[in-house]
């Protein structure tokens, strides 16, 4: 049995340096006290209204995302490497997006099969030739990282469409500072509370260039029934911008305008949390009630900036993921600082054969899947589940990729009867506008069930506060 790397104890040796002050504190805590603090945290979350929607016949409804009060700690040195790797990655992803919607040099060079782009539902031909401000398509990116050793961080996937979870990062920190001020006094933790200000500066920096006044920014939400509605309203409030739904917006005289108590007001930057398909019923899904008729023409004409840009999702499509190292090298001239997880594209005959022969050892994912759904975790599956998935793979191999089952790092977590290790990942949030802004930390997601590798909140996972220590 493979022993996973533990964030606090490594592979079983002495307490690692970033955790020394925390370990001393934890060593004198009583389990009942920690449970009481967990109950207090839950009260604080309920008071703030931080819930998410769960869809499904048996468990549908609003609920709190489970929060573990024991933080995940990253040293300053570790974070420096992550910063360099993440910045390299997001710059390359935006260069890739600009290229495929313009000259398509990477396709001409044969670095990516052309059909993977042009036949992909995430690729929008309507975006060809569009020049967004500063040439940026994906302004807000969530990079999902996993760790397997002392110096082994890997990117599990990129989120270049409408990444969520940053409100939990902010609320987790505020809750921890309220509950454990003494613990913060023992550790010099870098702040994250300036994220809304950084987001606002980023949005302002990508406004249309021909404005003669400060840009007006709005956040477009699908509405109160969306699973991330709390985050939408939270961010709009923190930035001091209007939270709007489709019924609040209209295109008039070639401009996007929003209805206010003082009449119509022009919108210059729209941070949308609505998927591409539903953005403009005149261009995409005609039955959509979540978008704004005519908004795409306003966008193409350069009179409004949409964040993230339509069509940005092609950069995080799982079918493209295995080509990201080549993409980084093509646009930066350097090897990736952060590695990808080894990936088998089932559309390729040799890879498909290998995957079918090793299903019990692999994690198989739908190319367009998310949230932990539509996937097979081979070592945790029954023979019947494996055979059912085998039939799906044979029927539609292009719809799947496969990866080795990684031994994700663990971190001390408050379990039912003790403090015990649980597997986790990390989603740092990076903003790209007039500069790259990366929050020190991000959202740590933790699999609360013993042995589980699925960290998604929709699948029973929870979150932790993520501490990046100062020098």
At residue 373 the predicted structure's pLDDT band, cuts being 50, 70 and 90, is low
What is the model's pLDDT at position 369?
A: 60
Exposure string over 432-457, b if 16+ CB within 10 A, otherwise e: bbeebbbbbbbbbbbbbeeebbbbeb
Closest CA to 301 of 254, 348, 251: 254
The alpha carbon dihedral of 100, 299, 305, 431 has a sign of negative
On the question of pLDDT at 245 being above 90, the answer is: yes
Q: What is the pTM of this model?
A: 0.92
What is the model's pLDDT at position 426?
A: 97
Domain 344-404 is found in CATH 3.40.640.10 = no
DSSP string spanning 78-137?
HHHHHHHHHHHHHHHHHHHHHHHTTT-HHHHTTSS-HHHHHT-TT--GGGTT---GGG-S
Least reliable range by pLDDT among 2-6, 267-271, 288-292, 440-444 = 2-6
**Mean pLDDT of the 279-290 span:** 97
Q: What is the pLDDT of residues 91-133, one digit of tens each?
A: 999 999 999 999 999 999 999 999 999 999 999 999 999 999 9
What is the model's pLDDT at position 430?
A: 98
Q: Which two tokens stand for residue 83?
A: 């910063």
Q: Are 380 and 362 in contact (CB under 8 A)?
A: no
Domain boundaries, the chain: 17-208+304-341+406-468, 209-303, 344-404
Q: Do the strands 339-340 and 429-432 form a parallel or antiparallel pair, or are they unpaired?
A: unpaired
**Mean pLDDT of the 230-258 span:** 97
On the question of pLDDT at 55 being above 50, the answer is: no
- Any idea what the Cα angle at residue 160 is, between residues 280 and 352, rounded to 5°? 105
Residue 424 belongs to what H/E stretch?
A: strand 419-427
* CA 214 to centroid of chain Cα atoms: 29
**Distance between first and last Cα of the chain:** 36
Q: Are 436 and 40 in contact (CB under 8 A)?
A: no
Q: What is the pLDDT of residues 163-190, one digit of tens each?
A: 999 999 999 999 999 999 999 999 999 9
Q: What is the mean pLDDT of the chain?
A: 92
- Burial degree of 25 (CB within 10 A; 0-12, 13-18, 19+): middle
Q: Are 72 and 467 in contact (CB under 8 A)?
A: yes
Q: Which two tokens stand for residue 46?
A: 């309920």
Query: Which has the higher per-residue pLDDT, 131 or 52?
Result: 131
In the CATH hierarchy, which top-level class contains the domain 209-303? alpha beta
Residue for token digits 């039955």? 287
Rg of the chain over all Cα atoms, to the nearest angstrom: 22
Beta bridge partners of 220: 244, 272
At residue 378 the predicted structure's pLDDT band, cuts being 50, 70 and 90, is confident
Q: Which two tokens stand for residue 236?
A: 């709009």
At residue 200 the predicted structure's pLDDT band, cuts being 50, 70 and 90, is very high
Least reliable range by pLDDT among 141-155, 217-231, 448-462 = 448-462
What is the model's pLDDT at position 372?
A: 54
**Mean pLDDT of the 47-67 span:** 65
């Amino acid at each position: 049995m493979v022993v996973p790397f533990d964030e606090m104890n490594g592979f079983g040796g002495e307490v690692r340096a970033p955790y020394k002050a925390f370990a001393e504190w934890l060593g004198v805590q009583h389990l009942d006290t920690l449970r009481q603090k967990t109950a207090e945290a839950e009260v604080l979350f309920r008071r703030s209204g931080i819930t998410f929607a769960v869809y499904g016949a048996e468990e549908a409804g609003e609920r709190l995302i489970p929060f573990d009060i024991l933080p995940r700690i990253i040293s300053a040195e570790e974070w420096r490497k992550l910063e360099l790797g993440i910045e390299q990655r997001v710059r390359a992803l935006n260069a890739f997006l600009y290229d495929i919607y313009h000259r398509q040099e990477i396709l001409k060079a044969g670095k990516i099969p052309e059909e993977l782009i042009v036949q992909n539902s995430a690729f929008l031909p309507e975006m060809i030739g569009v020049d967004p401000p500063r040439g940026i398509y994906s302004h807000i990116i969530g990079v999902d990282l996993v760790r397997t050793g002392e110096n082994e961080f890997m990117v599990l996937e990129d989120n270049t469409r409408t990444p969520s979870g940053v409100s939990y990062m902010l609320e987790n920190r505020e809750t921890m500072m309220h509950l454990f001020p003494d613990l913060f006094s023992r550790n010099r933790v870098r702040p994250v509370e300036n994220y809304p200000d950084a987001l606002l500066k980023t949005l302002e920096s990508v406004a249309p260039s021909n404005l003669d006044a400060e840009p007006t920014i709005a956040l477009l939400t699908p509405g109160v029934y969306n699973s991330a509605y709390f985050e939408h309203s939270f961010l709009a409030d923190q930035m001091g911008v209007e939270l709007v739904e489709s019924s609040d917006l209209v295109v008039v005289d070639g401009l996007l305008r929003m209805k206010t108590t003082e009449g119509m007001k022009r919108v210059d930057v729209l941070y949308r949390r609505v998927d591409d398909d539903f953005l403009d019923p005149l261009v995409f899904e005609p039955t959509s009630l979540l978008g704004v008729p005519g908004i795409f023409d306003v966008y193409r004409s350069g009179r409004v900036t949409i964040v993230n840009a339509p069509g940005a999702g092609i950069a995080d499509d799982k079918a493209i993921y295995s080509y990201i190292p080549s993409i980084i090298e093509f646009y930066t001239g350097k090897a990736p600082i952060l590695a990808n997880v080894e990936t088998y594209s089932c559309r390729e005959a040799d890879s498909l054969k290998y995957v079918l022969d090793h299903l019990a050892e692999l994690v198989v994912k739908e190319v367009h899947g998310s949230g932990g759904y539509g996937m097979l975790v081979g070592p945790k599956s029954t023979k019947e589940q494996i055979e059912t998935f085998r039939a799906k793979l044979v029927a539609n191999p292009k719809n799947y990729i496969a990866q080795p089952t990684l031994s994700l790092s663990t971190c001390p977590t408050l379990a039912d009867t003790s403090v015990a290790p649980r597997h986790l990942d990390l989603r740092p949030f990076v903003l790209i506008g007039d500069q790259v802004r990366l929050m020190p930390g991000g959202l740590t997601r933790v699999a609360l069930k013993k042995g589980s590798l699925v960290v998604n909140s929709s699948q029973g996972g929870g979150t932790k506060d993520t501490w990046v220590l100062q020098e």
